[in-house]
C-alpha cells in the first residue's frame, strides 16, 4: 500500500493571505523526505489553491511521482500534456463546492472521457478516474480504457456509526475487487484520516491511498514531517 499526499491545503493557507507562504513546493519536498510515495495536487479551473507556478515547480522537483487531479476541460488537458505528470486523476469539478463532492459520472460522459484518456495515453500519461464505489461506474471506467480508478471513500469516512462504517467498507471492497477483476489498478481517497485509514487498508486490492486534509491538519500541530511519518506507519 503506497501513500500519496495531497498538498492542496498548503496552497489554501497561502491563498488566505495571497502571499508566498507556506509554499506547497517546500511541503512536497518535506513529504517526500518523510517517505511519501507520491505527491498529489489539484489544478482547479479557478486556481483557488494550486496555481500554474506551483504545478510547474512541482513537476521540476517531485522525485517520487506526481499525480495531477483535474477536470477534463480543454484548458487543463492542454496544461497536463505540457506538464507530463506520471498520473492524471480526472475528477468532477464544480465551482461552488468546498472540495470534490462526488465521483465522476463515467457512464454519462463515456465519449468525452474516452477521447481525453486516449489523448493522455498518446503522451504516455497514466490515467485514473475518481468514481463512487458503484458497479456501473467501475464497468464504465473499464469501457473508456482507464488504467486505474480511484474509489471515492467520502461516504465511508462520513459513516455515523461502526455498523454503517463496516457496511460502507464492504461497498468499497466490492468495487475494488471488480476493478481488479476487470484489469484496472485501484487507488482510494477522500476523508481518510488517522482513525479510519487502517480499516481501509484491509481492502487489499487498493494499491495507493491519496490523503490530504487530515495530514495537513495534523501538521499544524505536530509538524509536517511527523504527520507524514505517523500516517505512513498506519498505512504500512
State the minimum distance, in angstroms, from the CB of residue 156 to ligand PXP.
12
**Nearest 5°: phi and psi at 31?**
-60, -45
Query: What distance in Å separates the CA atoms of residue 78 and residue 74, rounded to the nearest whole number?
Result: 6
Residue ranges in contact with ligand PXP by CB under 6 A: 6, 8, 42, 69, 89, 91, 99-100, 130, 150, 189-192, 210-214
Q: Is there a contact between 212 and 7 (Cβ–Cβ < 8 Å)?
A: yes
Query: What distance in Å separates the CA atoms of residue 71 and residue 91, rounded to the nearest whole number?
Result: 5
Q: Which is nearer to ligand PXP, 133 or 189 (CB)?
A: 189
Instruction: Give the relative orientation of helices 135-143 and 110-122 as an angle to the nearest 10 degrees.
Output: 50
In 3D space, the residue among 74, 113, 89 whose CA is nearest the CA of residue 210 turns out to be 89
State the minimum distance, in angstroms, from the CB of residue 104 to ligand PXP.
9
Q: Is there a contact between 200 and 172 (Cβ–Cβ < 8 Å)?
A: yes
Residue positions annotated with a catalytic role:
42, 69, 190
Q: Which is nearer to ligand PXP, 8 or 32 (CB)?
A: 8
Q: Which is nearer to ligand PXP, 8 or 54 (CB)?
A: 8
The residues that bridge with 130 in the sheet, in sequence order, are 150
State the minimum distance, in angstroms, from the CB of residue 118 to ligand PXP.
21
Q: Which is nearer to ligand PXP, 11 or 25 (CB)?
A: 11
Q: How many CB atoms lie within 10 A of CB 171?
A: 16
Q: Which is nearer to ligand PXP, 25 or 50 (CB)?
A: 50
Q: What is the dihedral of CA 92, 96, 100, 102, to 10 degrees?
A: -70
State the minimum distance, in angstroms, from the CB of residue 107 to ligand PXP.
18
97: Cα within 13 Å, side-chain hemisphere: 10
State the minimum distance, in angstroms, from the CB of residue 197 to ligand PXP.
10
Amino acid at each position: 500500500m503506497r501513500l500519496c499526499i495531497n498538498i492542496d491545503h498548503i496552497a489554501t493557507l497561502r491563498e488566505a493571505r495571497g502571499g508566498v507562504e507556506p509554499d506547497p513546493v517546500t511541503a512536497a519536498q518535506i513529504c517526500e523526505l518523510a517517505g511519501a510515495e507520491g505527491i498529489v495536487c489539484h489544478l482547479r479551473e479557478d486556481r483557488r489553491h494550486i496555481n500554474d507556478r506551483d504545478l510547474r515547480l512541482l513537476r521540476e522537483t517531485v522525485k517520487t511521482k506526481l499525480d495531477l487531479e483535474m477536470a477534463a476541460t480543454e484548458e487543463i488537458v492542454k496544461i497536463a500534456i505540457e506538464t507530463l505528470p506520471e498520473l492524471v486523476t480526472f475528477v468532477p469539478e464544480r465551482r461552488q463546492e468546498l472540495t470534490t463532492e462526488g465521483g465522476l459520472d463515467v457512464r454519462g460522459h463515456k465519449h468525452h472521457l474516452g477521447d481525453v484518456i486516449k489523448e493522455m495515453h498518446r503522451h504516455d500519461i497514466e490515467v485514473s478516474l475518481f468514481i463512487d464505489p458503484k458497479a456501473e461506474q467501475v464497468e464504465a471506467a473499464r469501457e473508456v480504457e482507464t488504467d486505474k480508478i480511484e474509489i471515492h471513500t467520502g461516504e465511508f469516512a462520513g459513516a455515523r456509526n461502526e455498523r454503517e462504517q463496516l457496511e460502507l467498507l464492504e461497498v468499497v471492497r466490492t468495487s475494488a475487487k471488480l476493478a481488479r477483476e476487470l484489469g484496472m489498478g485501484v487507488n482510494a481517497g477522500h476523508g481518510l484520516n488517522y482513525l479510519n485509514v487502517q480499516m481501509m487498508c484491509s481492502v487489499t486490492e487498493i494499491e495507493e491511498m491519496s490523503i490530504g486534509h487530515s495530514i495537513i491538519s495534523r501538521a499544524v500541530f505536530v509538524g509536517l514531517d511527523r504527520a507524514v511519518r505517523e500516517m505512513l506507519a498506519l498505512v504500512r
